[in-house]
C-alpha cells in the first residue's frame, strides 16, 4: 500500500478510533498482530509486518495457522490490554501511523504510551514508546536511519533532503515544475518528494500532461482528494481479479494496487474492482492475500515431499527401462545360438568367430558372430541359451516392477495435481489430516477399495450422528481424521475425557439447543467428571481446534470456543 492510499485509509478510520478500548492482543502469524477491541463497529485492528507488503487495516480474520508467541507480544499485552486510544495520527509524508494510548499501568512514565506502526517495505516495525517518547520495546531493532541513541526520544526514519508533502501544500516550489520535462520524470519526482511512490508519481505526471497544469498543483490536488475520506476505493490488477483468484496467482495478487481515487494512468493497462471505501478494499485484499499465502506455505512441505517422491520414482522407472532394453537384447541370443547350431561347424572346436547365414530378417544375409575362443562352439551356444532364459525371467520381473512404479508415480502425480488445486482452508483441513507425509520414494498406489476405518463409539440423537473417542488415540482420530471442518466439537473443561463430534453436513452456523445439551452431557459423562452434579463443557467448530507441535495424542488447543454447563448423562 503506497503512502497516498495509506493517507486515505487513515482518514476513513479516524472517526472510528476515538475512545476505543483494547480488549486483547493476538499474534496472528510470525509477523502479524491483531488488536481486538470492545467496539462492535470496529472489532479488531490487524497489523501485518510482511516485508514486501506491510499493512494495517480493520479485520479479525485469522487463518488456522500456528504461530510461536514472541516476547514482544507479551510486552504489548502487558501495556495495552484495556488501554484506551486517545489519539490516532499519521505524518503526511511518512508511511508511519501512531496510536496514543491511555493505559491502566500505575506509573507516570507509562500512563500514556504510543505504538508506532512503521509500514516501510523491507523494514517494517512496531515500536512501543513511553510518555516521553522513549523506546520501551520494538518488534525488531531500530534501524540506523532513526538516528536515535539509547535514551533519546523517538524520531521518524530520515528521508534525506527530500521535500515533504507538507512543504508542497504550504509553499510554492518552482523547481518541481522542471522535473516533468526531464528524461525520467517519475524517478526524478520520487527522488525529490518524500512519501511519493511509483504508482502515484506516474498518476500525477499523467494528469499533469493531460491537464497542462503545474506539477505542484497536481500534487496538491491529489493530496486533497485522498485526504477527503472518499467513499469509494479501487483495486487495480494487471489481469482480471476473478482470473487471478481462480488461478491462485499469488505473484499477480501481490502486484495489486489499492487506490482511493480512480487512476487515469491505469485504465488501459489494468482491470479494476470498485469498493465502498478504503476499509472494505483493504480488508478484502489483505485478508485474501494473507489467507492464500499462508495456505500455500502450509501446502508446500507436502507438495515438496510428493514431488521429491515423484522424481525418485521417475529415476527408478528410467533404470528399469534400461534393464528392460538390456534383457530385450539378451533375448536375441536365442536366434544367434540357433544360427550357430545350424552353421555346420564342429561343435567341439574353438573359434574366434563364425560366419553364419541370418534367415530371420527380410532376406537372408551373411553375418559374422564373435565368440569366446576359450570355450568350444558348443560352450558358446549353451552360454547363449542360458543368457536367453535368464533374460526372459528378468524381463518378466522388470515388467512387473515397472508396472508397479508407473502406478505409484501416477498416484503421486494425481495427489500433486489435487493438492495444487486446493485454494481454500476448509478443503485443505479436510484432507490434510489424511495425507501421509512422503519422505521416501515409496508411495503406495491405490490397489482397491480403501479399508474402512474402525468405527468409534457412536450415538444418533435427533438424526445427528455423534462420534465419541474412547481413549487418547481415538480422540486424535475422531478430531483430526473423522471430523470435518464445520462439524461441532465438544470436550469437558478442566478434566480429561472423550472428544465428542456432532456431524454437521449442512454446515449450520449454530447447533440446536437440545442436541447441544445432549452432546455436552455425553462429553461430561465420558470424562473424569462423570460423578459431578454440574460440569462445564467447551464447544466450538472443528476448524477452530488445532494440535500443538510435538503434543501428545489427544491434546488440542482451541482458537475460540463457548461453554455450557450440564449434568453428565449417557444417551447411548
pLDDT for 312-321, tens place per residue? 999 988 988 8
pLDDT at 479 over 80: yes
| Residue 75, domain CATH | 2.30.310.10
User: Do 8 and 132 share a structural domain?
Assistant: yes
Place 433 in a pLDDT band, splitting at 50, 70 and 90. Answer: low
Place 176 in a pLDDT band, splitting at 50, 70 and 90. Answer: confident
Domain boundary among the residues 100, 121, 146 is at 146
**pLDDT score at 450:** 39
User: Do 407 and 338 share a structural domain?
Assistant: yes
C-alpha cell of 435?
495425507
User: Do 463 and 376 share a structural domain?
Assistant: no
User: Do 416 and 461 share a structural domain?
Assistant: no
Domain boundary among the residues 397, 420, 443 is at 420
Residue 170 falls inside a structural domain: no
**pLDDT score at 356:** 84
- Rounded distance between C-alpha atoms, residue 75 and residue 550, angstroms: 26
**pLDDT score at 278:** 92
User: Do 412 and 344 share a structural domain?
Assistant: yes
Residue 532 falls inside a structural domain: yes
Place 437 in a pLDDT band, splitting at 50, 70 and 90. Answer: very low
Residue 231 falls inside a structural domain: no
Question: Tens of pLDDT along 12-44?
Answer: 998 888 889 999 999 888 888 999 999 888 999
Query: Among 118, 114, 129, 125, which Cα is nearest to 94's?
Result: 118
**Mean pLDDT taken over the chain:** 86
User: Do 483 and 405 share a structural domain?
Assistant: no
User: Do 534 and 404 share a structural domain?
Assistant: no
pTM score above 0.75: no
Residue 238 falls inside a structural domain: no
Residue 117 falls inside a structural domain: yes
pLDDT at 445 over 60: no
C-alpha cell of 379?
560352450
C-alpha cell of 298?
502450509
Place 452 in a pLDDT band, splitting at 50, 70 and 90. Answer: very low
**pLDDT score at 554:** 80
Domain boundary among the residues 93, 113, 146 is at 146
Please classify residue 306 by burial: count the beta carbons closer than 10 Å to its beta carbon, then call 0-12 exposed, 13-18 middle and 19+ buried.
Answer: buried
Place 455 in a pLDDT band, splitting at 50, 70 and 90. Answer: low
- Rounded distance between C-alpha atoms, residue 140 and residue 130, angstroms: 17
User: Do 124 and 61 share a structural domain?
Assistant: yes
**pLDDT score at 444:** 45
Tally of CB atoms within 10 A around 18: 11
**pLDDT score at 435:** 64
Question: Tens of pLDDT along 501-552?
Answer: 999 888 888 999 999 999 999 999 999 999 888 999 999 999 899 888 777 8
**pLDDT score at 243:** 92
**Range(s) of the domain holding residue 115:** 3-146
C-alpha cell of 144?
540506523
User: Do 100 and 55 share a structural domain?
Assistant: yes
Question: Tens of pLDDT along 346-398?
Answer: 888 898 888 888 877 778 888 888 888 899 988 888 888 787 777 767 777 77
Residue 515 falls inside a structural domain: yes
Q: Name the domain count of the chain.
A: 3
User: Do 306 and 411 share a structural domain?
Assistant: yes
Residue carrying the nine cell digits 483430526: 480
User: Average pLDDT for residues 253-282, to the nearest whole number?
Assistant: 93
User: Do 471 and 415 share a structural domain?
Assistant: no
Question: Tens of pLDDT along 145-162?
Answer: 776 766 788 888 776 788
**pLDDT score at 265:** 93
User: Average pLDDT for residues 209-229, to the nearest whole number?
Assistant: 89
User: Do 130 and 18 share a structural domain?
Assistant: yes
Residue 203 falls inside a structural domain: no
pLDDT at 251 over 80: yes
> Which stretches does DSSP call E strand in 14-94?
22-29, 32-37, 44-48, 55-58, 84-89
Place 482 in a pLDDT band, splitting at 50, 70 and 90. Answer: confident
Residue 347 falls inside a structural domain: yes
Amino acid at each position: 500500500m503506497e503512502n497516498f492510499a495509506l493517507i486515505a485509509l487513515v482518514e476513513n478510520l479516524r472517526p472510528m478510533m476515538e475512545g476505543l478500548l483494547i480488549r486483547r492482543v493476538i499474534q496472528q502469524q510470525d509477523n502479524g498482530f491483531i488488536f481486538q477491541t470492545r467496539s462492535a463497529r470496529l472489532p479488531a485492528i490487524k497489523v501485518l509486518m510482511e516485508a514486501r507488503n506491510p499493512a494495517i487495516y480493520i479485520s479479525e480474520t485469522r487463518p488456522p495457522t500456528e504461530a510461536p508467541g514472541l516476547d514482544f507480544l507479551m510486552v504489548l499485552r502487558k501495556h495495552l490490554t484495556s488501554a484506551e486510544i486517545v489519539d490516532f495520527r499519521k505524518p503526511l509524508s511518512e508511511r508511519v501511523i501512531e496510536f496514543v494510548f491511555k493505559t491502566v499501568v500505575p506509573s507516570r512514565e507509562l500512563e500514556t504510551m504510543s505504538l508506532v506502526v512503521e509500514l516501510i517495505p523491507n523494514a517494517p516495525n512496531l515500536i512501543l514508546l513511553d510518555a516521553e517518547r522513549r523506546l520501551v520495546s520494538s518488534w525488531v531493532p531500530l534501524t540506523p536511519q532513526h538516528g536515535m541513541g539509547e535514551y533519546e526520544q523517538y524520531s521518524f526514519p530520515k528521508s534525506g533532503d527530500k521535500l515533504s508533502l507538507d512543504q508542497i501544500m504550504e509553499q510554492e516550489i518552482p523547481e518541481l515544475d522542471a522535473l516533468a520535462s526531464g528524461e525520467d520524470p517519475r524517478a526524478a519526482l520520487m527522488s525529490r518528494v518524500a512519501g511519493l511512490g511509483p504508482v502515484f508519481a506516474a498518476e500525477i505526471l499523467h494528469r499533469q500532461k493531460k491537464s497542462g497544469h503545474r506539477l505542484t498543483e497536481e500534487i496538491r490536488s491529489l493530496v486533497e482528494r485522498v485526504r477527503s475520506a472518499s467513499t469509494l476505493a479501487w483495486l487495480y490488477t494487471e489481469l482480471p481479479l476473478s482470473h487471478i483468484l481462480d488461478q491462485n496467482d499469488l505473484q499477480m495478487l501481490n502486484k495489486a494496487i489499492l487506490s482511493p481515487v480512480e487512476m487515469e494512468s491505469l485504465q488501459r493497462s489494468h482491470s479494476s474492482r470498485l469498493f465502498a471505501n478504503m476499509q472494505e478494499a483493504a480488508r478484502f485484499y489483505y485478508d485474501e492475500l494473507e489467507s492464500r499465502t499462508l495456505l500455500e506455505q502450509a501446502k508446500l512441505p507436502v507438495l515438496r515431499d510428493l514431488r521429491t517422491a515423484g522424481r525418485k520414482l521417475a529415476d527408478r522407472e528410467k533404470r528399469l527401462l534400461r534393464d528392460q532394453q538390456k534383457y530385450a537384447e539378451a533375448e536375441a541370443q536365442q536366434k544367434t545360438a540357433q544360427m550357430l547350431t545350424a552353421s555346420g561347424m564342429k561343435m567341439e572346436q574353438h573359434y574366434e568367430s563364425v560366419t553364419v547365414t541370418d534367415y530371420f530378417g527380410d532376406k537372408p544375409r551373411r553375418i559374422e558372430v564373435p565368440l569366446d575362443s576359450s570355450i568350444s562352439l558348443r560352450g558358446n551356444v549353451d552360454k547363449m541359451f542360458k543368457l536367453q532364459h535368464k533374460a526372459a525371467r528378468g524381463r518378466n520381473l522388470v515388467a512387473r516392477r515397472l508396472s508397479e512404479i508407473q502406478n505409484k508415480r501416477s498416484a503421486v502425480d494425481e495427489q500433486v495435481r489435487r493438492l495444487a488445486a486446493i485454494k481454500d482452508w476448509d478443503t485443505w483441513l479436510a484432507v490434510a489430516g489424511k495425507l501421509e507425509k512422503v519422505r521416501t520414494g515409496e508411495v503406495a498406489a491405490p490397489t482397491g477399495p480403501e479399508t474402512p476405518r474402525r468405527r468409534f463409539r457412536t450415538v444418533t440423537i435427533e438424526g445427528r450422528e455423534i462420534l465419541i473417542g474412547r481413549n487418547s488415540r481415538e480422540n486424535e482420530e475422531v478430531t483430526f481424521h473423522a471430523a470435518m471442518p464445520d462439524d461441532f466439537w465438544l470436550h469437558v473443561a478442566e478434566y480429561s475425557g472423550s472428544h465428542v463430534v456432532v456431524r454437521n453436513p449442512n454446515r449450520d452456523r449454530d447447533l440446536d439447543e437440545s442436541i447441544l445439551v445432549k452432546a455436552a452431557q455425553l462429553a461430561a459423562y465420558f470424562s473424569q467428571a462423570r460423578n459431578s452434579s454440574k460440569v462445564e463443557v467447551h464447544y466450538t467448530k472443528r476448524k477452530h481446534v488445532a494440535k500443538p507441535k510435538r503434543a501428545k495424542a489427544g491434546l488440542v488447543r482451541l482458537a475460540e470456543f463457548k461453554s455450557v454447563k450440564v449434568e453428565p448423562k449417557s444417551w447411548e
